[in-house]
C-alpha cells in the first residue's frame, strides 16, 4: 500500500512540477525548434525504454537500441525481453524483417508493418515509431487534437509540455500527455501517457540520443551490422 501511494505521488501530473498556461507564440516557438532540429538530422540513434503500467505497477518493459535514417529506415536491436533479436524495416517488399536472438538466429520472419505481432499495446505500428511522426503528433496534440488545458514548465534542462489530447494511436481515447523536450537538442527525450484522471499508462525514454552520426544503408539489412560495431555508420 505504501509503495503504491508513493508511485501515485510520483507520477500524478499535477503534483510533479509547477506548470503554467503558455501563450500560443511560446508553444509555436517550441514546435518550430523541434521541427528545425529534426529537419537537420540525417539519422539518429537512441537507447529506448518503454514501460507499460497496469494497476500502478510496471506490467511490461522493453529496452532496445533504436536507429533511424531518413527517409524511413528503422532498426531495433533488442536487449529485453528478447535479447539479441533484431528488427529492420522496410525490406524491398515494404515489410519488417525479424531475426530472433540465440539459437533461432538463422530464422527470418517477414511481417507487414500493420501486423498485430508488431503493434504495441498502445496500438503503435513499427512504421509509426519515428521521432518525426512524434513531433507531428505533439504539434497536433497542442492544436486541433487538443481536448483540455495546455501547460508548460521547465525541469532539468527540459521543456515539459502537458496536454490532454486525442490519443495518437487509439481512436476514441483521450490521453493526458507529458512531452519532455531537451533544450540543447530540441528533440523529445521522454513521453509520459496518463488517463484523463491522472493514472499512468505508459512511459517512453529516449536515452543517449545522437543525431547525424553517419549510419550506413547496410546497417538496415540483416547481417549488415550487429547493432554496436556499426552504430556510427562504419
CATH number at residue 154: 2.50.20.10
Q: Report pLDDT digits (tens) over 157-215.
A: 999 999 999 999 999 999 999 999 999 999 999 999 999 999 999 999 999 999 999 99
| Residue 3 within any structural domain of the chain | no
| Residue 135 within any structural domain of the chain | yes
| Residue 29 within any structural domain of the chain | yes
* Number of structural domains in the chain: 1
Q: Are strands 109-111 and 146-155 parallel, antiparallel or unpaired?
A: unpaired
Least confident of 33-37, 119-123, 141-145, 218-222: 119-123
| Residue 14 within any structural domain of the chain | no
* pTM for the model: 0.86
| Residue 162 within any structural domain of the chain | yes
DSSP SS3 for 82: coil
CA distance 105 to 39: 36
Structural domain that includes position 168: 19-220
Q: Report pLDDT digits (tens) over 75-98.
A: 999 999 999 999 999 999 999 999
Phi, psi at residue 40, to the nearest 5°?
-80, -20
Closest CA to 12 of 196, 205, 199: 199
| Residue 85 within any structural domain of the chain | yes
Using CA atoms, how far residue 68 sits from 166, 177, 233, in Å, is 26, 24, 12
> Dihedral, CA atoms, 30, 31, 34, 37, nearest 10 degrees?
-100
| Residue 227 within any structural domain of the chain | no
| Residue 194 within any structural domain of the chain | yes
Amino acid at each position: 500500500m505504501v509503495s503504491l501511494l508513493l508511485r501515485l505521488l510520483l507520477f500524478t501530473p499535477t503534483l510533479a512540477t509547477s506548470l503554467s498556461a503558455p501563450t500560443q507564440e511560446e508553444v509555436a516557438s517550441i514546435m518550430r525548434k523541434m521541427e528545425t532540429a529534426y529537419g537537420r538530422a540525417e539519422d539518429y540513434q537512441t537507447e529506448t525504454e518503454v514501460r507499460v503500467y497496469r494497476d500502478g505497477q510496471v506490467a511490461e518493459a522493453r529496452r532496445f537500441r533504436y536507429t533511424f535514417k531518413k527517409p524511413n529506415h528503422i532498426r531495433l536491436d533488442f536487449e529485453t525481453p528478447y535479447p539479441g533479436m533484431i528488427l529492420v524495416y522496410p525490406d524491398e517488399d515494404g515489410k519488417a524483417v525479424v531475426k530472433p536472438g540465440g539459437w533461432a538466429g538463422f530464422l527470418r520472419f517477414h511481417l507487414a508493418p500493420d501486423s498485430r505481432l508488431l503493434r504495441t499495446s498502445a496500438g503503435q505500428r513499427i512504421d509509426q515509431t519515428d521521432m518525426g511522426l512524434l513531433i507531428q503528433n505533439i504539434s497536433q496534440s497542442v492544436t486541433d487534437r487538443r481536448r483540455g488545458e495546455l501547460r508548460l514548465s521547465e525541469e532539468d534542462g527540459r521543456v515539459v509540455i502537458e496536454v490532454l489530447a486525442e490519443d495518437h494511436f487509439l481512436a476514441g481515447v483521450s490521453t493526458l500527455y507529458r512531452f519532455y523536450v531537451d533544450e540543447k537538442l530540441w528533440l523529445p527525450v521522454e513521453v509520459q501517457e496518463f488517463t484523463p484522471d491522472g493514472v499512468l499508462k505508459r512511459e517512453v525514454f529516449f536515452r543517449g540520443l545522437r543525431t547525424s552520426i553517419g549510419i550506413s544503408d547496410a546497417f538496415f539489412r540483416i547481417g549488415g551490422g550487429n547493432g554496436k560495431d556499426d552504430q556510427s555508420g562504419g
